[in-house]
Structure 1
Amino acid sequence: MHPIRSRKIEREEVFEYEFSVCTLVTDLSEYEEMKASFYESGFTTDICEFLYIDNSKQNTFEAFAGLNRFLREARGEYIILCHQDVLINYHNISDLKARMAEVENADPNWALLGNAGGVNLKYTAMNVIQGTGNVLEDKHLPIKTVTLDENFIVVKSAANLALSADLQGFHLYGTDICLIADVLGYSSYAIDFKLMHKSDGNADYKFYQLKKDLIRKYRRAFRSRFLGTTITRFYISGVRLFNFFGNIALVLFLSRQYIKIFKPKKGYRLKLKT
């Protein structure tokens, strides 16, 4: 019998690059300008790879599928997801590393950093120069956020994040990945890393349609439900009172009887295509 080779996984991960800069591109000349600003700010090719998806002639990937491809393909310890119309011409790579180190020291469970995002229902955090000349600064950075703006997001590769497979479009993927990070136990922060973003944003009708899709998706994802494993059964809910009553033995028993009568096992069988 031939020996079967195996590979030992070491505790410390090894990455080929320090950063992977990933961009969906519709204007190749603007993308070249963006890359040049990164390079001049210290994101040199010995420590950084640049990945792009060419949407200049046709829509090769929409954002959710495209960024998931980036997250799978990137070989950097940190993955930067950014727009083609950003310029790194205020802070540089040393500033970014310093801000990352500050967050890492205070919260090693961070997974996402950005230059703008939502703190809660009332407050936002902004640190960007807009193309119209607006200077948006926040004195409270770094600050924990529930969402991040899509113009510039740093993803920690070790967090092993992905975007939703059941959403499509070019908006709100920053919100989606922050929600997923939160579910996995990670944090998101807006940091003091200033750059120029030429656009002031474009909340068109597609934005509002995707907003509805995202709400619908997470209404289902965060639903209360009964769960069964091979050895136990229980109920989960974001409402503490529901968690209490749902896990009472009698409630679990009656719920099982309801399923037995009205939802037989064969109804869950996958219908295979012929």
Structure 2
Amino acid sequence: MPKLRAPFGADKTMTAVISGEADIGFMGSEASIYTYAEGATDYVVNFAQLTQRAGNFLVAREEMPDFKWEDLKGHVVLGGRKGGMPEMVFEYILKENGIDPETDLEINQNIDFGSTAAAFAEGQGDFTVEFEPGATTLESEGEGYVVASLGEDSGYVPYTAFSAKKSYIDENPDIIQGFTNALQKGMDYVQVHTPDEIASIIEPQFPETDLETITTIVTRYYEQDTWKSNLIFEQSSFDLLQDILESAGELEGRVPYDDLVTTQFAAIAAQ
């Protein structure tokens, strides 16, 4: 009987896959790049990409309908930990807009992940970078306003993907194909149903969140094209991911797409 575990963070998920504690991992694609670059022989290969946008948003203390990234200059932003994807994507966007993350603003990286929304509500920072439901909660409580989507402004980043060790994929192609086929059915459902319908289906998975909030969150992700219509992990997205890692100083040399990505299972599932 298959078992589902939910370790917190890509590093712990990768450890579970590498050690054999888990057969398939769902995590940020950067983890596979790091382990390959470190010299792993039975490295982890991405076989199905799920999301193609970063899922976090910039929240301000007041409505800013004409927000531009340069508006952050001279302000304090509650950010993420150094080397984490949320922070790397944020700093990549800043650099792409001609903003120096070191000198043009102050990024507070001392607050634990998951606590930034509460800190912002208590008066810390001028802006905060939030995942859901933090962004929507701040809006509903009148404590902040979403003024930009990091997912939209960073481009099509392979933010999350399913992966397994090369040996496991080679030895269990039928399992990987069946798993990918099931994922594709989920993607097909998303493509032909409204955010309201999707929210109603997933509501039981979030007992602590009301349906209205779930609908708002799904709508926000839906409108920014967060989910891929198929699960094919394209090279252009892989290259952008490496651009972001290099920009953050977390990658010394490029790793080969053909080693770390296989599209054969997703291509069959999409037929």
TM-score, length of structure 1 as denominator length: 0.24
Query: When you count strand as a share of all residues, which structure comes out higher?
Result: 1
Query: When you count helix as a share of all residues, which structure comes out higher?
Result: 2
TM-score, length of structure 2 as denominator length: 0.24
| Greater relative CO (CA pairs within 8 A, separation 6+) | 2
Structure with max Cα Rg: 1
